């Protein structure tokens, strides 16, 4: 069996672009890969939003749990046209400072979201996951300076 260099190269490219999030112990560093708590938390929030959105009320409850667990103050009442990415720099900073707790919360939330998705769509229905990927791209595109590499550069300053 030969070493899967092509697959490893593809994975490394996805990590550098911010399309893959590794959890605790990944070994990627701020110096070599520009990975930072800021960048990882931003990507986790984008993934959370994209998974919650198609699940309606169930997804909204998970987002509310994040906000209450980490005391993320949101505008009350919400604006008439809320942004696709509602989290502020202060929210991201607060979550990044508590990265291990944040990471643990996200692992549990993602597990719950995937169970809900399977329950709602069936295991074989790829349309839901395609919709999630499309929503994630829309959110990444609208975050501007927070997207992909720019978040890592900002955190490095």
Find the domain containing 126 and state its range: 5-156
Tell me the HSE value of 67 on the side-chain side, using a 13 A CA sphere. 14
pTM score, two decimals?
0.70
Q: Provide the domain count of the chain.
A: 1
Question: Quick one: which H or E segment has residue 95?
Answer: helix 89-97
pLDDT at 4: 67
* Mean pLDDT calculated for residue range 53-57: 88
Listed range (44-48, 97-101, 141-145, 149-153) with the worst mean pLDDT: 149-153
Rounded CA-CA distance 56/114 in Å is 14
Contact 83, 142 (CB under 8 A): yes
Listed range (85-89, 93-97, 150-154) with the worst mean pLDDT: 150-154
Rounded CA-CA distance 155/35 in Å is 9
pLDDT at 83: 85
pLDDT at 142: 83
- Residue 119, pLDDT > 60, answer yes
């Amino acid at each position: 069996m030969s070493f899967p260099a092509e697959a490893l190269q593809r994975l490394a490219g996805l990590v550098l672009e911010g399309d893959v999030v590794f959890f605790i112990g990944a070994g990627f560093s701020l110096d070599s890969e520009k990975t930072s708590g800021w960048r990882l938390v931003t990507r986790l929030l984008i993934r959370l939003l994209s998974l919650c959105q198609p699940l309606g009320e169930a997804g909204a409850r998970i987002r509310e749990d994040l906000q209450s667990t980490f005391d993320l103050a949101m505008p009350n009442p919400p604006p008439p046209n809320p942004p696709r990415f509602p989290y502020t720099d202060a929210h991201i900073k607060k979550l990044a400072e508590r990265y291990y707790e944040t990471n643990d919360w996200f692992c549990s939330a993602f597990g719950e979201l995937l169970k809900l998705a399977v329950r709602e769509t069936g295991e074989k229905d790829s349309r839901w996951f395609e919709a999630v990927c499309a929503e994630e791209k829309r959110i990444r595109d609208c975050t501007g300076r927070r997207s992909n590499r720019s978040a890592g550069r900002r955190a490095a300053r």
